[in-house]
Structure 1
Amino acid sequence: MNQDFSNSSPGRRPAVLAMCLISVLVLGMWGLRTLFTGPQEAPGANLNTEPVIRAGFVNTVPGEGDVRTYMPTVVYNDCRYWDREIIEVIPEGSIVKKGDIVVVLDSSELEDKLQQQELELTKAKGQLADMQAKQKLVGAENQRLLAKFQMQANIAANDLKSFTEATSTAERRKLEGQTRLTSDQFARAKEHVSVTAALKARGYGSITELDLAEATMEQRGRERDQAQGALILNNEFLDPRQRLQLKGVSSIADKDLEYVDLQNQLLYANAEVSTLKTMKWVAGTQGYVDYLTKAIAACTMRAPKAGEVVYAHKRHENRMIEVGSKVHYCQNIFRITNREKLVIAGRVSDRLVYNVEVGQKADIEISNQPDGRVTGTVSWVGEIPTALNWYEPNILHHKLQILLDGSPEELADIALGSTAEVSILTDQREDILQAPLQGIFSNNGQLSAIVRTPAGLELRRVRIGENNGDTIEVFEGLDEGDDVVIENRTRLRDLARDLEPAPDND
């Protein structure tokens, strides 16, 4: 049905006009954009890419070091004291003979201390001599007292032995003899009384003779009783008492001897302790004097053999061998070298050392040389990593040695001690398919790459091998000539997310 706009409401006309105006503006802006920007680019046209190539694959490991001679004689600071200042040093490169003075360290402080310690040593030795003399006097006095009390103990022991074995026995035998004698006399007197009484009864004797015989018997009885009493008194009282007295005297003498011996030992031990303390003082002072003497001698360093002097600078610690600088104990000062063989004493990161082996070739760039590029061969690789310095203990390196190629004449212009940058050839193969390392990334646990094709971007799963920092060996997933997108990892993962098919909604 036809609509008559003439009869339309007047309020709708401005709205229609506004819509027409907006449409014209949009079409105009699109036309201008097309005019200035041209046709729309294909997907991925603004991404950076690099092609997959098939060429020779070369892998190197970087390192650094300095030029030295093969197996030089190293001279280090043997002065076991605080850091010493260098006051004299022979110019680097000088040719020296064995025994020539090469470096002199400041030893004035050590010499002052040595003078003080020598005075202290003299004092200690004098006191030691005095203590040793006193110890001898104490020992002599102890011997005298010990001999005196030993003699007293011997006398007491001899008295006891003499009484026990001789005097006591003789006295007992004497009293026993007297007892037997008086008993016999009493028996004879008693028998005489009986005979006299019998004769008187027969009329042959007188009363006077009988009385005299009885009086004699009584006298003999009293003598017998006295002898028996003396024997009993001796056996039960006098002899045991004398024996106990002599035993007591002997025991006291032994105790006195033991006491004097212990007292002498204590006095001698005290004197010996004092002497030992003084000896310790002397030994300690003598040891310090010897230590200072050796340290002073070590401040003058001599060449152990003939050759060329090369300073052992520690550039990474800013420790240079020069007059006025300080060196610590065991720090290498210089090397005595000959130039028949030159080596690079270098180091390589512990993260890369697993690729380095003895016998590998190396390109070497030596600083401060007109033609500083030479070649060499790895001759030794350290097994234990070490920190480059104390303030970066987690940055570890393995030491290595590279023997320079060439005759002594060809290497004559190379300055010993020059720094060198080395590039060790660890892998070299031909006809290897390689992709840019920056284009390989991990996507959901799979190594992947994004390839730009005429149809757009394409996600590939890849299997890779070794890399040299720029390119990486490819076994599967890429072909020669493929344009691999090289962007940062975040950008590559974002692109891969858009390229992956949507998950199933089962």
Structure 2
Amino acid sequence: MIRDTSAQDRLVAVAPNRKRKLILAGAAVAVLVAIGFSVPKIATMFSADTSVSASRLTFATVTRGPFVRDIAAEGKVVAAVSPTLYAPYGGAVVMQVHAGDVVKKGQVLAIVTSPELTNKLAQEQSAADAMQVEYLRAQVDAKKKRSELQKAFDNAVVDQTASERDLKRYQGAFEKGAVPVADVDKAKSALDKAAITQKHAQSDLTVDNDSLTFDIQAKKLAHDRQVLLVKDLQRQVEDLNVKSPVDGQVGQLFIAERATVAKDAQLVSVIDLTALEVEMKVPESFARDLAIGMPGEITGNGKEWKGKVSAISPEVVNGEVAARLRFDGQSPSQLRQSQRLSVRILLDSRANVLTVQRGSFVDESAGRYAYVVNDGMADRRDIRVGASSIDKVEILDGLKEGDSIVVSGADTFGDAKHVAIAR
């Protein structure tokens, strides 16, 4: 048999290591504590409706402080007064200016040649002259007719007076027996005839005088009407010289030189550089808060000007509303049309307001709820929001200062009320 080495083995006594025991005991306690703290969190994780990565979310903290509502955007300079001139009558047009020329009020910009209108004016002027002659002739004829009527009336009066005298003389002679009664009766008949003649002469004088007056008045009215027609044609002929209604600058020529145009065709536009405004586009959500007269600030060229909202478009185009600001006082002379400027309109300014960063949660929930984040969990909570600015939204109820909420990305939560946030 082969002998083993068991006879050579001997037991060695190992001294106890207290330090090692303490380290092992401490590690065991730490593990137990970690397990104790993790159990509630693990239980909460398992109670969540869904889990979403934090990288897909944006968080913000509710704060209290000043709240300023304003609208800041880029605007462009536009002319508040930019009239477009049209052809008053059809014809060939001769332009007197070029695009960009500085013009004065009343300066001729274009001349429309219209032989038809010019000839019509000459014809109507001739007709007016003829009517004036007729009117003057009617006055002369009336004067002559009145003279004849007055003469007949005067003769009738004289004849009546003579008949009265004859009757008186015959009556005296009859009383003395110098003449028969037949002569007295004849004198009475002559007097009656003279009285009738005088009465008719007076009536003719009155009636014919009125008739003559009406005839003269009719001819005068016809002449006046013709004169008004001539004046209107003269105005139209004068308008063939298209004049600038304002001091400004020629903006655009709509026709070529010596082009033949129809009535009311566009000819030229004039820009009044003394009345400039700034036009800006406002998001539809802020348009309802805008009002005419609101103060604004306009900056550009290293300067700042005060302004006021002067007009708001009633139409929404591509989710935006056009608004215009007018400069307080005189428009700056160094500005040019279509120049870009920065515009800011102050809507509201308050202190000590509970706010949070604006995000998609306002539109997704219509401002009715938000997800409050705490220990890796996002819990849905009912809230009530107030006014909104470009970057903040006012919190009226449901949140307190220091709360952390999900401001964007909550659309991935669906209808979940408890969401685990995976880091």
TM-score by length of 1: 0.53
Match of 1:379 among 279, 284, 307: 307
Match of 2:255 among 324, 330, 333: 324
Aligned partner of 1:322: which letter? Answer: L
Q: Partners in 1 of 2:238 and 2:97 — Cα distance?
A: 20
Q: In the TM superposition, what are the counterparts of 1:333-352 in structure 2 within 5 Å? A: 333-335=270-272, 344-346=277-279, 351-352=288-289
Closer, same or farther: CA 64–241 of 1 in aligned 2, 3 Å: farther
Look up the match of 1:460.
Answer: 382
Closer, same or farther: CA 362–152 of 1 in aligned 2, 3 Å: closer
Q: Measure how far apart 1:142 and its partner are.
A: 0.8
The one-character-per-residue Cα deviations of 1:223-275 (angstroms, maximum 9, x if unpaired) are xxxxxxx8xx84xx864674354124312332144135423542553354234
Aligned partner of 2:61: which letter? Answer: V
Closer, same or farther: CA 437–374 of 1 in aligned 2, 3 Å: farther
Q: Partners in 1 of 2:406 and 2:192 — Cα distance?
A: 120
Q: Measure how far apart 1:135 and its partner are.
A: 0.8
TM-score by length of 2: 0.62
Aligned partner of 1:51: which letter? Answer: A
SS at match of 2:124: helix
The one-character-per-residue Cα deviations of 1:262-297 (angstroms, maximum 9, x if unpaired) are 23542553354234313321x123212331243134
Matched, 1:118 2:122: yes
Q: Partners in 2 of 1:352 and 1:280 — Cα distance?
A: 56
Matched, 1:287 2:231: yes
SS at match of 1:153: helix
Look up the match of 1:401.
Answer: 326
Answer with 57-66 or 142-151: which moved more: 57-66
Aligned partner of 2:48: which letter? Answer: A
The answer (yes or no) to whether the contact 1:67–1:416 under 8 Å persists in 2 is yes
Matched, 1:45 2:51: yes
Closer, same or farther: CA 51–336 of 1 in aligned 2, 3 Å: closer
Q: In the TM superposition, what are the counterparts of 1:64-143 in structure 2 within 5 Å? A: 66-67=76-77, 81=88, 87-92=95-100, 104-109=109-114, 112-129=116-133, 131-143=134-146
Aligned partner of 1:121: which letter? Answer: Q
Q: Measure how far apart 1:63 and its partner are.
A: 6.2
Q: Partners in 1 of 2:270 and 2:337 — Cα distance?
A: 14
The answer (yes or no) to whether the contact 1:310–1:416 under 8 Å persists in 2 is no
Q: Partners in 2 of 1:272 and 1:152 — Cα distance?
A: 29
Q: Partners in 2 of 1:269 and 1:158 — Cα distance?
A: 33
The answer (yes or no) to whether the contact 1:303–1:336 under 8 Å persists in 2 is no
The answer (yes or no) to whether the contact 1:58–1:428 under 8 Å persists in 2 is yes
Closer, same or farther: CA 310–345 of 1 in aligned 2, 3 Å: farther
Aligned partner of 1:104: which letter? Answer: L
Runs of at least 5 residues in structure 1 that lack an aligned partner in the other structure: 1-38, 179-229, 313-320, 365-372, 500-506
Greater share of residues in strand: 2
Aligned partner of 1:400: which letter? Answer: L
Look up the match of 1:167.
Answer: 169
Q: Measure how far apart 1:108 and its partner are.
A: 1.6
Q: Partners in 2 of 1:133 and 1:354 — Cα distance?
A: 65
Q: Partners in 1 of 2:90 and 2:346 — Cα distance?
A: 42
Aligned partner of 2:69: which letter? Answer: N
Q: Measure how far apart 1:107 and its partner are.
A: 1.2
Look up the match of 2:345.
Answer: 424
Greater share of residues in helix: 1
Closer, same or farther: CA 400–455 of 1 in aligned 2, 3 Å: closer
